[in-house]
Amino acid sequence: MAVCVSGSHTIFMNRSNLKTVAVLSREKKMGVQYDLKQGQSRNFHELPSGLSMEVIVQKGAEINKNVEYPPLVFVHGSYHAAWCWAEHWLPFFSSSGYDCYAVSLLGQGESDAPADSVAGTLQTHARDVADFICRNIRSPPVLVGHSFGGLIIQYYISNLGNDNLKEDLFPKLKGAGLVCSVPPSGNSGIVWRYILTKPITAFKVTRSLAAKAFQTSLPLCKETFFSATMEDHVVKRYQELMKVSSRMPMFDLRKLNASLPVPSVPNCPFEVLVLGAKDDFIVDAEGLRETAKFYGVSPVCVEAVAHDMMLDVAWERGAEVILLWLNGLEK
């Protein structure tokens, strides 16, 4: 890997394509800027397509030199970008010794956008994450995905044992954490359950996400993503960032649903943590159980947190569950 450093920015250069990118003159994609915290840097990984993917990095503190801490790679969901991990979880996990990398998928955050109406497919997003890992991460990482980011990780996992793919296309993992993840069958089952049992909730979720009403209604934004106790000025800040995080849809949902469920993975060679939020307005308890059953594990449901677990008032509750699970992985 070749690395080009300029100021506080870094570009990860592909071994196969050493194309130089002018970082300081790089056009800002988000109208609202997210200011990085101390110890964080904004980086750009160049994909084989020539498009660059934003990566926010925070290196782990030296805790115990005799212990090998697996790198953590975070993948966001819809209307979010790498910044959503940089707010709380990157500082938390890096202080515990873990090198942390939060990616912005194409068309999201400060990443480049493809010449299409949508940012990609389940397959292309997973391959972009795999390419970043292959070219920049030296040891098997733990992938952590939120919401639709969790579904992307599930597709990544399903390809690890595929003999039809090149051996290094999807690098091996140390583990995977699925946080408030869309289940393997997609979100259509959740939508139908809400329509049949909670029609008002179904209307609110559809209005908030499909019609993007969360962008203009502070109360609806809070109800969709956060706990009721979050102060309005904090919700407003996140709302402004979410407005500009997705310049194009992550998927064509009709094509996505037609490609699901993700292929099963018999005898998954690493541990999978399925983590849900008790007050999740988007992914219901049945969706959480479906994901856990798919991987043959028991789900962990965190009390008093909402869908955006990594940004919510009690963000540390989910982080501590993941840290405990990480400490239990063979190092």
> Does residue 253 register a pLDDT over 70?
yes
pLDDT at 262: 94
Residue 4's pLDDT band, with cuts at 50, 70 and 90, is very low
Percent of the chain at pLDDT above 90?
81
Least confident of 160-174, 199-213, 276-290: 160-174
Residue 8's pLDDT band, with cuts at 50, 70 and 90, is very low
40-82 pLDDT, tens digit per residue, is 999 999 999 999 999 999 999 998 888 889 999 999 999 999 9
Q: How much is the pTM? A: 0.92
> Does residue 18 register a pLDDT over 70?
no
CA distance 311 to 273: 19
Task: Tell me the pLDDT of the chain averaged across its residues.
Answer: 90
pLDDT at 317: 98
pLDDT at 164: 58
What domains sit in the chain, N to C, each tagged with a CATH number? 40-186+246-330 (3.40.50.1820)
Query: Mean pLDDT across the stretch 102-113?
Result: 97
pLDDT at 22: 39
Say if CB 151 and CB 125 are below 8 A apart: no
pLDDT at 163: 59
| Residues 6 or more apart in contact with residue 328 via CB below 8 angstroms | none
